[in-house]
Amino acid sequence: MIHLTTNWGYEGERGPDHWHELSPRFACGIDFPWQSPIDLNRKNVSKIFSEEPLKFFYQSELFFEEIFNNTFHFIPPEKHSYLVFSEKKYYLTDIHFHLPSEHTLEQKHTPIEFHFVHMNEEGHNLVVGVLFEIADIQTLIEEKPMVKINWQIQAPGVVFNPALFLPKKKSFYSYIGSLTTPPTLGEIQWFVMDQVQTVQKEFVEWLKNSIVPNNNRPVQPLNEREIWYRE
């Protein structure tokens, strides 16, 4: 499903520097000081994440394919997949993509970032970011693990288990931030996995047909916020 083109973008007068000027609905985001994305590195870590780790309960389910907000989305019509954080369930509501990545690791972008958007019963969002390199000859030579896209076409969507995109090593950075698209509201609980995975080049080329080029918001200032890390 293709939605109407949004009235914001990533370049020029409708780019990130002007999002808050484009409409009253977008203006409210500027009041929240802890914006996303940010650069993540061990030097900025202020605390070790000591709570229970994220517990993922993802399963194979139907996803609708939709295009809006300048990117491609997988939308689950039912609440089957979820994770548990601080003893609360956060249900998966959306998977979408940014090329190149929005978050950086030690000031370096990766070619693609997946965002797994969740919401609990109180309406609070939690987003998991997963960073990817793109498979090429050098990757295959180095024998890095590669995500193999495996889904079934089932009109009007596709069926797959979103867990296939998660790294085996669940170390992550965590911080309080915002949405990375207008109106960039916060506060959003972010978890960004620090194990960079590899995804099939064919999958990325397929996505590029539905994504605005360079649909990544620039890295934002930390503004004295705390960054947690869990090994």
In a domain, 196, yes or no: yes
Q: Is the pLDDT of residue 51 over 70?
A: yes
In a domain, 5, yes or no: no
Per the structure, the count of domains in the chain is: 1
In a domain, 3, yes or no: no
Give the separation between CA 163 and CA 148, rounded to whole angstroms. Answer: 12
In a domain, 219, yes or no: yes
Q: Is the pLDDT of residue 226 over 70?
A: yes
- Judge contact between 191 and 37, C-beta under 8 A: no
Kindly state the average pLDDT of the residues 133-148: 63
Kindly state the average pLDDT of the residues 65-70: 92
- With residues binned 3-state (H G I as helix, E B as strand, rest as coil), the percentages for the chain, rounded to 5, are 15, 35, 45
Q: Is the pLDDT of residue 4 over 70?
A: no
Chain-centroid distance, C-alpha 27: 23
Confidence category of residue 143, pLDDT binned at 50, 70, 90: low
In a domain, 44, yes or no: yes
In a domain, 166, yes or no: yes
- CATH of residue 110: 3.10.200.10
Residue 88 pLDDT: 95
Residue 138 pLDDT: 53
- Judge contact between 219 and 37, C-beta under 8 A: yes
19: containing domain? 12-230
In a domain, 197, yes or no: yes
Structure tokens of 41? Answer: 């590195």
In a domain, 37, yes or no: yes
Residue 5 pLDDT: 45
More confident residue, 63 or 140: 63
Q: Indicate the average pLDDT of the chain.
A: 89
Q: Is the pLDDT of residue 1 over 50?
A: no
Residue 222 pLDDT: 95
